Homo-oligomer: A and B are copies of this chain.
Amino acid sequence: MKKKIAIQGVHGCFHEQAARLYYGEEIEVVECLSFEDLFVSLEQKTADGAVMAIENTVSGGLLPNYSLLHKYGKQIKGEVFLRIKQNLMALPGQKIEDIREVHSHYMAIAQTRSFFQEYPHIRLIESEDTAKSAADIATKRQMHVGAIASGLAAELFGLEILQESIETHKQNFTRFLILDDKLNVEKRDIDKSSICFTIPHVKGRLSQILSIFSFYDLNLTKIQSLPIPGKEWQYFFYVDLKFEEYNRYREAMNAVQPLMEDVKIMGEYKSYNE
C-alpha cells in the first residue's frame, strides 16, 4: 500500500514536488486546500504524513504555519529544500498579448510581480493554489487566462509555457517541513532541531545563549526574532540548530534553559542533504 502524504495544493504543485523529493515516487498524494487541512488530514488519519512550506529564501518565513504546529501539537520530523521555478502558462496557442488575467497562489504572484510590470494589461488574481489555477484553465478551456505554476503542472494539464522561470530572484528556494508521526527518526540520525523561546530583557541574554550553543558545537542555521507587542522588551525567537552529537545537543539545551522562558522543541530530525 502506498504511503498517503498530505500536500498543500493539488497535483502538480510545488508541495507535490517536495513530497516526491522527500518520500520518493511511491506515494499517494492527498490534496489539501489550506495549510490547516494538512493537520486535519493527519488527525483524521486520511494521511500518514504531510509536507508543509515553512520559509522561502526570497519572501521569508510563513510564520502562521508555526502557529498551526503548536495548535495541533505536531512535531517536525524532517525537512526538504526545493528550488522554485515559476512559469507563466496558458492554453496552447495563446500569446502573452492575449492574456487578460493571471491566477496563482499569492506567494507565486509575489515572487513574479516584477515580470508583470511590463504587462500592465494583465490582472493578477489570487487563487488557492498554483497548480489548481493551471488545472482550471485546462478543464474549463479558459481563453485569455494564464497561470503561474510549476513545469510539472504545465506537463500534467497540457498547457503551454509562455515564459519560463519568471521569478524575480533566481536563487529562490523553499524549505518544507515533514510532519509524519509514523516516521521514526533514529536518535543517531538526528542532527537538527527547531526550537522557539522567549527571552526577557536582560542585557546580553541572546549572546549568552548563542555562546552556550557555540560552546556545545551547535550551529545556528536560522534565527528569527519577533517582538511581542504589549510586552515591552520581550522577544520571541525561532531558532534552528544543527549538530553532530545528539547528547551534546541535549546537554546544551539543559545549559541554556535557565536563560530562556517558554521554551518549546518543535522537532528533532535529520537535516536535508541534497
Which residues from chain A sit less than 8 Å from chain B, CB to CB? 34, 36, 57-64, 67, 83, 106, 109-110, 113-114, 117, 124-126, 168-169, 171, 173, 201, 203-204, 206-207, 210-211, 213-215, 217, 219-230, 235
Q: Report, nearest first, the 9 A-B pairs whose CB atoms are least far apart.
A: A126-B126, A204-B214, A207-B210, A106-B106, A60-B63, A207-B211, A60-B61, A171-B229, A224-B224
The CA-CA distance from A225 to B206 in the complex, in Å, is 14
A-B contact pairs, 9 of them (CB 8 A): A58-B64, A60-B62, A60-B226, A126-B126, A171-B228, A201-B219, A203-B214, A203-B217, A207-B213
Task: Using A36-B114, A223-B224 as known contacts, say yes or no to A57 and B206 having CB atoms under 8 A apart.
Answer: no
Cα-based distance from A60 to B222 in the complex (angstroms): 14
Bound together, the chains give a CA A62 to CA B56 distance in angstroms of 12
**Residues of B contacting A235 in the complex (Cβ-Cβ under 8 angstroms):** 221
Contact: B227 with A206, CB < 8 Å?
Answer: no
Which residues of B sit under 8 angstroms from A34, Cβ to Cβ?
Answer: 113, 117
How many copies of the chain does the oligomer comprise?
Answer: 2
Shortest distance in angstroms between A242's beta carbon and chain B's nearest beta carbon? 10
Tell me the bound Cα distance from A211 to B212 in angstroms.
Answer: 12
Residues on the B chain within 8 Å of A110, using CB: 64, 106
Which residues of B lie under 8 Å from residue A60 when comparing CB positions? 60-63, 224, 226
**Which residues of chain B are within 8 angstroms of A213 by Cβ–Cβ distance?**
207
Q: Tell me how far the C-beta of A58 lies from the nearest C-beta in chain B, rounded to whole angstroms.
A: 7
- Tell me which of B117, B168, B201, B210 contacts A210 (CB under 8 A): B210
- Tell whether, in the assembled complex, residue B203 and residue A207 are in contact, meaning their CB atoms are under 8 Å apart: no
Once bound together, how far apart are the Cα atoms of A14 and B33, in whole Å?
29
- A47 and B142 CA atoms in complex are apart in Å by 41
Q: Known: A126-B106, A225-B223, A229-B57. Contact between A210 and B214, CB under 8 A?
A: no
A230 surroundings in chain B (CB, below 8 A): 171
